[in-house]
Amino acid sequence: MTDLKDNFFVKFWGVRGSIPCPGSSTIKYGGNTSCLEIGIADTTLIFDAGTGLCQLGQALSKNNNLNLNLFLTHFHYDHIWGWPFFEPALRKTTKINIYAAASDMRLPPEKVLMKSLENKKTPVNLDTMKAELNFSEFIVGKSITLTEKINILTTELSHPDKAVGYRIQYNGKSICYLTDHEHNNKTIYNKLVEFVSNADIVIYDATYTNEEYAERMGWGHSTWEEGVRLCDDACAKTYVAFHHDPSHDDKFMDNVSKKLKRIRKNSLVAKEGLILKL
């Protein structure tokens, strides 16, 4: 757990999409898939359970009597791969509150996650899981009141099998998390502009460049240039390009970072270990 008590911050533990891509060419930005830690005073929120969740779990395991809140955007593998390797789940003293959108899939969210633990060769499985799990399904578009001061808004994203965007609000500040989204629906785009309006931080699916997107329409992802347009239209403050394509190495991402900062100065490219504090 990041030691930033009495603060509102986000830490990036996994910033990739599709598949993990560890290696010498991705050391700077990281190769783990989607996972964020958001800390608000003594409350820990986790967004997505990609492979970055493994490292977060190791850090959290240094603490006893954990009370965690895990929010899932959807159930594609790159967003749940870390779940069977999440060390705090091995302890009886850990409580994990899991939030996911009510789904029209064959299996409800609880069964999807528990089914992923059927392999007894993973550290966390149906036999070794000891944590107290509490599942909560919500209707997309409704808000979640986590505490008296922490409110979480939800919105629809454009993605195969659907996905959820989140806006975390606390003491007049806000962080928006919009991963796995394609900018091909004008109605949803207009809703997103309103959703992220005046947000302090917007973390956005920037998997492709505009040139790459021309050949990947319908794949369910957006571009870093579209992230700029959204944040400008919404008067958002800090824009963070996220969910990097696994084929984009450090050199490629450095080039994206330079172009992004030229176009919108108060912007940056997500990398593992990055902490943004409000």
Count of CB atoms within 10 A of residue 246's CB?
A: 18
Distance CA 44, CA 46 (A): 7
Residue type, 83: W
- Over residues 34-63, the mean pLDDT reads 96
Distance CA 236, CA 256 (A): 20
According to the model, what pLDDT value does residue 104 have?
Answer: 61
Distance CA 152, CA 41 (A): 16
Give per-residue pLDDT as tens, 73-84: 999 999 999 999
According to the model, what pLDDT value does residue 202 have?
Answer: 98
> Are the beta carbons of 57 and 96 closer than 8 angstroms?
no
Q: Say if residue 236's pLDDT is above 50.
A: yes
According to the model, what pLDDT value does residue 6 have?
Answer: 55
**CB-based contacts of 246, cutoff 8 Å, min separation 6:** 16, 17, 18, 19, 20, 21, 31
Give per-residue pLDDT as tens, 121-175: 999 999 999 999 999 999 999 999 999 999 999 999 999 988 999 999 999 999 9
Q: Say if residue 105's pLDDT is above 80.
A: no
Q: Which residues pair with 38 in a beta bridge?
A: 10, 45
Of 60, 59, 33, 61, which is closest to residue 47 (Cα–Cα)?
33
Of 177, 174, 175, 193, which is closest to residue 185 (Cα–Cα)?
193
Q: Confidence class of residue 1 from pLDDT cuts 50, 70 and 90?
A: very low
- Over residues 92-110, the mean pLDDT reads 87
- Over residues 242-266, the mean pLDDT reads 97
> Are the beta carbons of 31 and 23 closer than 8 angstroms?
yes
Q: Which residues pair with 145 in a beta bridge?
A: 151
What's the distance, CA 252 to chain centroid?
22
Domains of the chain: 8-277 (3.60.15.10)
Distance CA 248, CA 270 (A): 13
According to the model, what pLDDT value does residue 103 have?
Answer: 72
Q: Say if residue 59's pLDDT is above 90.
A: yes
Q: Three-state SS for 225?
A: helix
**CB-based contacts of 114, cutoff 8 Å, min separation 6:** 126
| Both structure tokens of 15 | 């910033």
> Are the beta carbons of 241 and 204 closer than 8 angstroms?
yes
According to the model, what pLDDT value does residue 161 have?
Answer: 86
Find the helix or strand (DSSP H, E) in which 133 lies: strand 132-138
- Over residues 56-70, the mean pLDDT reads 95
